[in-house]
Structure 1
Amino acid sequence: MSTPNESYELARRRVIAKTIYKGVVGLCLLLAVLQVAIWYFTTPDGYFWPVWPILGTLVAAVIAGIPVYAGRPAISDRRIEAEVARMRRDG
């Protein structure tokens, strides 16, 4: 059973992760609009090349969003504790 402080910290991490993820998705959307605009103003009748970087970015965004919205943190306490132990050992 987790303590109120642990629950608060977990909720805090999830809110931070979701906020960062939404910012990244917003940036991806902005870049997609920019790519479509470049295509439209340079070769509107040509091959629609923006589909490929947009599709790649979409796949990456979905994969990055899975741990954020799957209900489990992407960075576990076990990994954090292992890193602290490694820093103590190396430092």
Structure 2
Amino acid sequence: METFNTPTPDEDPLRAQAVKRLKAKAEFVNYLWVWLGVTLIVNVVWFFSGYHSYYWPIWPMLGMGIGAFFMGLNAYGPATRGITEDRIQAEMRKLSDKQ
């Protein structure tokens, strides 16, 4: 696994944003592997427990799935695009149209 250096305040802002996005994407992929491992373990335990009337593994799988959803949004969602001059101008146009 690669390591990412934490950007310093005087570093190029574009590079700092790129490092932050790459780190979020790598952490998301690692989390998906952990989620898969936990899912396999709890399903094996449930299967060999002999108590098949209640599927309790859904709860840890669902909880970790919610976490995966938000980590995925953080890594790949629209907030990762950054603030550009075009987006600032578009937002200013929206605000001026409302007044």
Band the TM-score falls in, shorter-chain normalisation: 0.5 to 0.7
Partner of 1:69: 76
Partner of 1:49: 56
Partner of 1:24: 31
1:72 alignment partner, SS class: helix
Q: 1:64 is matched by which residue type in structure 2?
A: M
Q: 2:35 is matched by which residue type in structure 1?
A: C
Give the TM-score normalised by structure 2.
0.60
Partner of 1:59: 66
Q: 1:56 is matched by which residue type in structure 2?
A: G
Pairing 1:33–2:37 present:
no
Structure 2, unmatched stretches of 5+, are 1-11, 81-99
Give the TM-score normalised by structure 1.
0.65
Give the alignment's Cα RMSD to 1 decimal. Answer: 1.7
1:14 to 13, 21, 26: 21
- Structure 1 residue 44 displacement after superposition: 5.5
Q: How many equivalent pairs are there?
A: 69
What is the percentage of aligned positions where both structures have the same residue? 25
Deviation per CA, 1:27-86: give whole Å up to 9, x if none.
01100110000001112533111012111211121022212211435xxxxxxxxxxxxx
Higher helix share: 1
CA distance in 2 between counterparts of 1:49 and 1:10 reads 40
Structure 1, unmatched stretches of 5+, are 74-91
- Contact map agreement 2:46 2:56 (CA 8 A) in 1: yes
